[in-house]
């Protein structure tokens, strides 16, 4: 399974593996009655709708997906909150999540950085202390892009100097500009947990960069669990 969607300038989301189909939550729910479906029927779809609508989410934990993600560190750290905050309760994902990330303690591959173009820089919102508002003036965006390019170039120069002079990789990485640097990780999660992530990060007020990754995850997971993910997200919309 190698479905992959490119995100931002150098990032991507790849569906590495998946366990289950829309039949998985159906059969998990019906095991109490020692019944099992072999082909998804309208009756099964009605059951999925019922489970999602009524908040009976445990059957959706039996369907699992594994993703490889390559994203700027600022996206990774927002995403990671869904792992450390997982618990078996309504609306909070679940404790089956797993996260394994590449580390510059061990690798020295060429660092890659996210640098927004001049038209992608956003201003501060008018009525909030967080998030972003409208795009800044092109002149400001161009200057911001140049300054970030300069910062990356300087950090790379110092990083390479440190490595060349025998400083260990785990300390040399201190010279690298952190938040825009791409990192790679595996995320394995249940369908319930994935739906919780999507419900939060597909919102119009979510940070644009992580919203772009959430859209990629949705596209990949919809192909495998079209009914279940649709109903789990519909439940969130109905509750608002």
Closest to 233 measured CA to CA, from 57, 89, 88, 102: 57
- Give 76-97 pLDDT, tens digit per residue: 999 988 775 455 444 444 456 7
Give the residue extent of every domain in the chain. Answer: 4-105+180-239, 115-179
Q: Are 106 and 169 in contact (CB under 8 A)?
A: yes
**How many angstroms separate the CA atoms of 75 and 208, rounded?**
10
List the catalytic residue out of 14, 173, 201, 224.
Answer: 201
Counted residue by residue, the chain has a size of 240
- Give 20-54 pLDDT, tens digit per residue: 999 999 999 998 777 788 999 999 999 999 999 99
The chain-wide mean pLDDT, for the chain, equals 88
Contacts of residue 54, defined as CB under 8 A and 6 or more positions apart, other chains included, come to: none
**How many angstroms separate the CA atoms of 11 and 180, rounded?**
11
At 158 the pLDDT is 97
Is 184 catalytic? The answer is no
Class of domain 4-105+180-239 as given by CATH = alpha beta
**How many angstroms separate the CA atoms of 198 and 211, rounded?**
9
H/E element, 140? helix 138-164
């Amino acid at each position: 399974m190698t479905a992959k969607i490119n995100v931002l300038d150098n990032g991507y989301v790849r569906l590495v593996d998946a366990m289950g189909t829309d039949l998985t939550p159906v059969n998990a729910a019906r095991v109490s009655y020692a019944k099992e479906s072999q082909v998804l029927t309208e009756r099964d779809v009605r059951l999925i709708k019922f489970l999602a609508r009524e908040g009976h989410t445990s059957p959706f934990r039996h369907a699992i997906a594994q993703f490889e993600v390559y994203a700027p560190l600022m996206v990774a750290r927002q995403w990671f909150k869904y792992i450390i905050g997982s618990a078996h309760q309504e609306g909070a994902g679940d404790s089956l999540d797993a996260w394994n990330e590449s580390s510059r303690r061990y690798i020295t591959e060429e660092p890659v950085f996210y640098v927004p173009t001049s038209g992608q820089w956003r201003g501060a919102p008018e009525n909030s202390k967080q998030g972003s508002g409208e795009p800044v003036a092109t002149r400001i965006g161009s200057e911001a892009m140049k300054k970030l390019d300069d910062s990356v170039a300087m950090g790379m120069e110092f990083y390479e100097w440190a490595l060349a002079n025998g400083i260990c990789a785990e300390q040399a990485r201190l010279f690298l500009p952190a938040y825009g640097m791409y990192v790679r990780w595996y995320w394995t999660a249940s369908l319930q947990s994935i739906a919780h992530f999507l419900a939060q990060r597909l919102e119009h007020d979510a940070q644009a960069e992580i919203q772009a990754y959430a859209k990629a995850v949705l596209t990949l997971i919809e192909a495998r669990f079209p009914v279940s993910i649709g109903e789990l997200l519909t439940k969130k919309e109905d509750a608002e």
